[in-house]
Structure 1
Amino acid sequence: MSVPLDIAALGARAAAMIEELGAISESPDHLTRFFLTPQHRRAADLVATWMREAGLDVSEDALGTVRGHWHPAGPGAPRLLIGSHIDTVAEAGKYDGAMGVVLGILALGIIKKAGLSRPYGIDVLAFGDEEGTRFPTTLSASAAVAGIFAPASLAMRDADGVSYRDALIAYGKNPDDIPAAAYDPNKVIAYVEAHIEQGPVLEADGEPLGVVTAIAGASRLSITVTGEAGHAGTVPMRMRHDALLGAAEMALAAEKIAKADRHGMVATVGRMHIDPGSINVIPSRVVFTLDLRSGSDVSRREALERFEREAHRIADLRGLGVVISAFHEVATVPCYRDLQLRLRNAVADLGHPAPSMPSGAGHDGQAMSKLCPVGMLFVRCRGGISHNPAEYASPDDMGLAAAALVRFIERFQLPQLTDATGGVLT
């Protein structure tokens, strides 16, 4: 028998919680809430209050991850994890991360109130370092939960020169306790996260919810193009070695490669520095970045090889030099097929198809995939806008997402989970 659901009420409550959490910021003029700051402390305390109100037991680990526990089968039973993050970028929107925490609390509160018994436990997790905005690291809180925290991170410093270690101690934590934050992989069934899409696809398709197939892998390159400076008025076009025009053609080549891909590839040139940077001098040197993301590691590697060939071809034709170096590489994280199917069926129960789609943004699921199977539910966001104060998800859509999590939990037993390649995990 299905738990009765008031989707409108769930959505209204989610919206109210989002507003309350969004008011916790270092500035009254915008939302900025960094890891291990006084604002993080206040947000974590508010989340813990909500968890207790939902009837959950609450704990907090050595990196400040707030955990709400419901263990009807006893503390030794395996558990399902649901979560997201409560840290933000600078001048952020209110929904990125926070919404997933709120929806997890609401869904589990409904399940517990209905008296539904499960042969496993459920923990709702509120991570604190997904964005990597304070220290030059990211996903460290979820990495600790997954048992892959890098101790070298503790030496990293923020813009004020405060080390990660000292910030933890000031937050009231003992860095020596970090290993105890890790879950036993033999006791974890899966990790599921609800998140705003951070893109325009669901809105364009007229659908409130989507199911994520994979968290895209990413490669970041630095490309240096060298040419020859010359007078802008005296060097004929046919005799120029213009580094900027070569770099521009390489950027267009990256765009063409991405558009031809079948795995949702995106290519972005986000930075470009031009020397000597004078209005009347032909550019002699350009350094630009390329961010390449895809739902397939194979296609991403092939695209990188194609881009390198194209860049050298363009440089040769224009009499330029080019040096390409990679400075960031993250593998694709496939979402598990059974979790995708179960999430899609949960949404279908509410009368919606939940299209399949990749995630081009990074998420805590990337770290959690080292611990257990992961699944993600996307929620439509207005205009596809994220990391921006204009970020918005409607109460109706959030209510549907909370309801979908309830239906997902209702049907979730202790299954065999099939991974993205068809292999079976027990």
Structure 2
Amino acid sequence: MPLDPERTVQELKALRELTGDEHGAQRVAFTDTWVRARDFLKEKLAELPVEVHTDAAGNLWATLRGDSEQELLIGGHIDSVPNGGWLDGCLNTLAGLEVLRRLSEQGRPPVTVRLVDWADEEGARFGRSLYGSSAAGGNIDLAEMRKLRDRDGVGLEDALARVGITLADAPQARDELKNAGAYLELHIEQGPVLEGLGLPLGAVLGTFGVERHTITFHGQAAHSGSTPMNVRRDAFRAAGQLAQEIYAIAERHGGVCTIGSCKTLPGIVTSVVETCEVTLDQRHLNAEHLAAMWWEAQEAARRFAEDGGCSVTFGDLWNIEPIPFHPELIEAADAAILDIVPQSHLLPSGPLHDAAEVARAGIPTVMLFVQSLRGISHNSIEDTEEEHLLLSVQALDRLTSRTIQWLVSRR
């Protein structure tokens, strides 16, 4: 059975028909539609000489035994955001399925190869992304997870129980990684870089680190009509100046910065703004640059506050360190792309992926990106040229072969 990338495209379309509607994909984790998607994948796996089981956290594993207990993992996620795209996550799993088909037909591989469908990568329902891979990587706080509720008030613990998963047992999923020697993941880019370069495929350097904070400017409320401009202590003015400065900070360091929300008090048109809180998201692949970006943002905020007769305070929302992928596997990914097309490109990932959690667990990891049309994802218009989808399956297969050789050479 030779590799058949066209079959992957047809299976992606069949999954879209099964689990989507006129608004897009509806494979939200732990819903009935997600269960149908899982069953679709299980039906395909049942045709192969693989062992299939669901671990304690709800991740689905298909294991093709090899001559060695050392394992090569190929991962993805079949869940989606509500009204999502037809490729996000499920391309990974169905392309990995096709690679398993090719390997199983050729006999026993030198190492054990496992396909994993991670549970709830998106976090769309409960606001906590990478649940399944975090559990396997040992990065899960059960007390915090028990607090999570969806918009209907259903708790994560109850949603898991409905599909046969016990949250308290989730940390046991760590056992799944004990023999892992490498991890591969194919994903649509979800951004515009490859399309802008006119390239179908890229090798991923790692995932951005993130600093996410609140910045609150404190001024003085005063009447909008009777307060001269030169004596105002306008908290919004200081925030507006910072909004411009973060672009300069990002440009200096080669990262990205976003002010995502802005709240003002008293929040009426007849008053100068007394309090203005903004949320700042900063991302970079280099930890030193990321730290410098946050330091420079604070210095700029203090400067603009002082210039406007205001003060400023800072709050922490969330942060994660940059997660670089394995340099030798990045080389292998780049070479695998060049086996298929004339030109490759190395790029970082702005979004987090399950690959980040696997890499954090100390397992050599790399990702492949395939071009996204218009750079759009998490949207029903998400799309990739079929020709590029075919190339991506071939590239994942070539990367699998190269990584198996790499693992054998390291024994």
TM-score by structure 2 length?
Answer: 0.93
Residues 230 and 281, structure 1, Cα contact 8 Å, conserved in 2: yes
> What is residue 126 of structure 2 aligned with on the other side?
135
Which stretch of the first structure deviates more once superposed, 140-149 or 368-377?
A: 140-149
Matched, 1:252 2:244: yes
Q: Give the Cα separation in 2 of the matches to 1:352 and 1:50.
A: 33
What residue in structure 2 maps to residue 243 of structure 1?
235
> Quick check: 17-26 or 278-287, which moved more?
17-26
Give the AA of the match of 1:253.
Answer: E
Given candidates 190, 194, 197, the residue that maps to 1:202 is: 194
Secondary structure, counterpart of 1:271 in structure 2? strand
Letter in structure 2 aligned against 1:126: D
Query: Offset at 1:228?
Result: 2.0
Task: Measure, in 2, the Cα distance between the counterparts of 1:177 and 1:381.
Answer: 37
- Cα-to-partner distance string for 1:71-128 (whole Å, 9 max, x where unaligned): 1326xx1110011112222221121111111111112212322x15422111111112
What are the superposed Cα offsets for residues 121-177 of structure 1, whole Å, 9 maximum, x if unpaired? 111111121111222422121122224333222343322232222222211234454
* Alpha-carbon distance change, 416 to 309 in structure 1, aligned in 2, over 3 angstroms: farther
1:169 alignment counterpart: 161
Alpha-carbon distance in structure 1 between the residues aligned to 2:25 and 2:43: 21
Do structure 1's residue 221 and structure 2's residue 216 form an aligned pair? no
Task: Decide whether the 8 Å contact of 1:344 with 1:353 is kept in 2.
Answer: no
- d(CA) in 2 for partners of 1:128 and 1:22? 19
Report the equivalent of 1:124: 115
CA distance in 2, matches of 1:254, 1:316: 18
User: 2:289 maps to what in 1?
Assistant: 299
**Partner in structure 2 of residue 311 of structure 1:** 301
Tell me which moved more, 207-216 or 91-100.
Answer: 91-100
Structure 2 spans left out of the alignment, 5+ residues: none
Change (3 A) 1:177 1:186: closer
- 1:372 is the counterpart of 2:363: yes
1:40 to 9, 16, 34: 34
Instruction: Give the structure 2 partner of residue 384 of structure 1.
Output: 375
| TM alignment of 1:94-105, pairs within 5 A | 94-105=86-97
1:324 aligns with 2:314: yes
> 1:279-308: per-residue Cα shift (whole Å, max 9, x none)?
333222211111101001111011111111
Superposed CA deviations along residues 314-348 of structure 1, whole A, max 9, x for unmatched, are 10011112111111011111110111111111111
Paired residue secondary structure (1:329): strand
For residues 128 and 416 of structure 1, what CA distance do their matches in structure 2 show?
Answer: 27
Q: 3-state DSSP class of the match of 1:397?
A: helix
CA distance in 1, matches of 2:62, 2:407: 25
| Alignment of 1:288 onto 2:278 | yes
Q: Secondary structure at the match of 2:24?
A: coil
- 8 Å contact from structure 1 (residues 215, 360) kept in 2: yes
Write the letter of the residue equivalent to 2:391. Answer: L
SS of 1:144 mapped into structure 2: helix
Q: In the alignment, which residue of structure 2 is the partner of 1:422?
A: none
1:310 and 1:268 map into 2 onto residues whose CA distance is 15
Compared CA separation, residues 354 and 183, structure 1 to 2 (3 A): farther
| Aligned residue number for residue 261 of structure 1 | 253
Q: Is the 8 A contact 1:337 1:417 kept in 2?
A: no
Of stretches 190-199 and 279-288 in structure 1, the one that deviates more from structure 2 is: 279-288
The answer to whether the 8 A contact 2:24-2:86 is kept is no
Whether the 8 Å CA contact 2:142–2:167 is kept in 1: the answer is: no
Task: Please say if residues 75 and 96 of structure 2, whose CA atoms lie closer than 8 Å, have aligned partners that are also in contact.
Answer: yes
1:307 is matched by which residue type in structure 2? A
1:46 Cα deviation after fit: 0.8
Instruction: Report the Cα offset of residue 417 of structure 1.
Output: 11
Q: Distance in 1 between matches of 2:345 and 2:123?
A: 30
AA aligned opposite 2:402: R
Are 1:20 and 2:11 counterparts? no
Select which of 326, 333, 341 maps to 1:343. Answer: 333
**Alignment counterpart, residue 51 of structure 1, candidates 42, 45, 51:** 45
> How much has 1:185 moved relative to structure 2?
4.6
The reply on whether 1:234 has 2:226 as its aligned counterpart is yes
- Partner secondary structure for residue 92 of structure 1: coil
Aligned CA distance change for structure 1 residues 160 and 284 (closer, same or farther; 3 Å): same
Equivalent residues of 2:120, 2:129 under 8 A apart: yes
Cα pair distance change 1:402/1:116, threshold 3 Å: farther
Q: Distance in 1 between matches of 2:26 and 2:227?
A: 50
- Could you tell me which amino acid in structure 1 is paired with residue 400 of structure 2? I
Is 1:47–1:66's contact at 8 Å kept on the other side of the alignment?
Answer: no
Distance verdict in 2 for CA 1:133–1:178, change over 3 Å: same
Deviation at 1:28, TM superposition (A): 5.3
2:100 aligns with 108
In 1, distance between residues paired with 2:18 and 2:222? 54
**Could you say what secondary structure the match of 1:53 adopts?**
coil
Residue 421 (structure 1) aligns with: none
TM-score under structure 1 length normalisation: 0.90
| Moved beyond 6 Å, runs of 4+ | none
CA distances 1:342-367 after superposition (whole Å, capped 9, x unpaired): 11111111133221100010101121
1:225 and 1:137, CA in 2 relative to 1: closer, same or farther beyond 3 A? same
The residue type equivalent to 1:278 in the other structure is I
Which deviates further from its counterpart, 299-308 or 24-33?
A: 24-33
Tell me if 1:362 matches 2:352: yes
Is there any run of 5+ residues in structure 1 with no aligned partner, and where?
419-424
Task: Classify the secondary structure of the residue corresponding to 1:319.
Answer: coil
Opposite residue 201 of structure 2, the aligned amino acid is: L
